[in-house]
Amino acid sequence: MSQTGIVIEAARAKINLALHVTGQRADGYHLLDSLVTFADFGDELALRPSAQDRFEITGRFAETLSADADNLVTRARDGLRALAEELGYETCPVDITLTKSLPLSSGIGGGSADAAATLRGLMRLWKLDVPRDRLAELCLSLGADVPMCLASSPLIARGIGEDIEPLATLPSFFILLVNPLKPVSTPQIFRLLTSKTNGPVHPFDPAQADWLDYLGCLRNDLQEPAQRLLADIGECLQQLEESGAEVCRMSGSGATCFGLYRDEMTLERAALTLEQAKPQWYVRAGRTLEGNAP
Ligand code: C5P
């Protein structure tokens, strides 16, 4: 915490480098095997003690989101406060500002990352030590991607996303995200899946391949149904491929697609070309986090 009592938390974009659908639970949720990393950019949360609870949204995509009781930030705050009070902690009112730089409903976990960053920030602000199982339960009640966004470092996610294994060996990649700025509905994409029992992600073997070659052999099982629903996704993937990306894939349930590049110069050239060719799209270049990053 700074001297002024402000806590800043990054809500990094979540990237599903691979997402294999391996089954379905009786309640309808799908079982996944997903290789996940995080970008070095995303939304940002600023939290500070206040006389009363306040929540404000600023930034490029602020207008597309309302700061009401349904917002994942508000729900995370209220959920954590209830849990803290049950555990005997005192909590003060908070003023939260969300800088919304990631597009909404776009497969890169924006809302989930915001919820997770709210939890991390409030645990620092309120000085909470919450038992892991209670925190995990709260995260999952907010959304299947919230547990992985709480970790916010490279990992393998299984179950419906709650079974998390850190992936310390994952290197950093040069990444370009593109989104046609048309939201897609996650439940609808899952409903359009034709096969729900696909093979898991096979482990990486450094003797056999480098990371980019390995990732190229994996897939996102939600990509084909998403492309059927929104043809722009095919166009995003084609543009990425033509821009020199080694791996082109959709993240989560879309519509954001990513390209991974061997070097920074190709990435920068690709970003410039796409920004000029598609000014109406979201285009963002950066790096992904390394597995052993602090
Ligand atoms: O948990 P979250 O709100 O992010 O999920 C949105 C919807 O996506 C769920 O209601 C469900 O229809 C679908 N989903 C799924 N299997 C998952 C995650 C999400 O079927 N593992």
Q: What is the ipTM of this complex?
A: 0.94
Contacts of 206 (CB under 8 A, 6+ apart): none
pLDDT tens, the chain, 294 aa long: 554 689 999 999 999 999 999 999 999 999 999 999 999 999 999 999 999 999 999 999 999 899 888 899 999 999 999 999 999 999 999 999 999 999 999 999 989 999 999 999 999 999 999 999 999 999 999 999 999 999 999 999 999 999 999 999 999 999 999 999 998 999 999 999 999 999 999 999 988 889 999 999 999 999 999 999 999 999 999 999 999 999 999 999 999 999 999 999 999 999 999 999 999 999 999 999 999 855
**Helix, strand or coil for residue 192?**
coil
Q: Can 196 be counted among the known catalytic residues?
A: no
Among protein residues, the one whose CA lies closest to atom 15 of ligand 1? 29
Among protein residues, the one whose CA lies closest to atom 14 of ligand 1? 29
Q: Which residue has the tokens 């190709």?
A: 266
**Are the C-beta atoms of residues 274 and 178 closer than 8 Å to each other?**
yes
Tokens of 68: 């009401």
Tell me, what's the pLDDT at 69? Answer: 83
Kindly list the protein residues whose Cβ atom lies closer than 6 A to any atom of ligand 1. Answer: 29-30, 32, 143-145, 160-161, 186-187, 190
Among protein residues, the one whose CA lies closest to atom 20 of ligand 1? 29
CATH number of this structure's domain 7-166, picked from the four choices 2.102.10.10, 3.40.50.2300, 3.40.640.10, 3.30.230.10: 3.30.230.10
| CA proximity to 222, closest of 256, 260, 176 | 256
Pocket test of ligand 1: the residue of 21, 30, 33, 150 to mutate, having most ligand atoms within 8 Å of its CB, is 30
Tell me, what's the pLDDT at 207? Answer: 87
Pocket test of ligand 1: the residue of 22, 186, 189 to mutate, having most ligand atoms within 8 Å of its CB, is 186
Residue 160 labelled as part of a binding site: no
Tokens of 184: 């897609």
> Exactly one of 33, 145, 221, 232 is catalytic; which is it?
145
Residue 107 labelled as part of a binding site: yes
The residues spanned by each domain of the chain are 7-166, 174-287
**Residue 283: strand pairing partners:** 178
167-199 exposure pattern, b = at least 16 Cβ within 10 A, e = fewer: beebeebbbbbbbbbbbbebeebbeebeeeeee
- Distance between Cα 189 and ligand 1 center (Å): 10
Tell me, what's the pLDDT at 185? Answer: 92
**Are the C-beta atoms of residues 90 and 130 closer than 8 Å to each other?**
no
Among protein residues, the one whose CA lies closest to atom 2 of ligand 1? 143
Write the class of the CATH domain 174-287: alpha beta
What are the C-alpha distances in Å from 286 to residues 27, 33, 45, 144?
38, 25, 20, 25
Task: Confirm whether 7-166 and 174-287 share one CATH topology.
Answer: no
Q: Can 129 be counted among the known catalytic residues?
A: no
What is the value of pTM for the model shown? 0.96
What is the 3-class SS of 196-261, one letter each residue?
A: CCCCCCCCCCCCCCCHHHHHHCCCECCHHHHHHHCCHHHHHHHHHHHCCCCEEEECCCCCCEEEEE
Classify residue 149 by burial, with Cβ atoms within 10 Å: 0-12, 13-18, 19+: buried
Tell me, what's the pLDDT at 213? Answer: 96
**Residue 34: strand pairing partners:** 19, 157
Classify residue 206 by burial, with Cβ atoms within 10 Å: 0-12, 13-18, 19+: exposed
Tell me, what's the pLDDT at 4? Answer: 67
**Are the C-beta atoms of residues 38 and 110 closer than 8 Å to each other?**
no
CA distance 112 to 38: 13
Q: State the alpha helices, DSSP H only, in 57-196.
A: 72-86, 110-125, 132-142, 146-151, 186-191
Residue 103 labelled as part of a binding site: yes
- Distance between Cα 183 and ligand 1 center (Å): 15
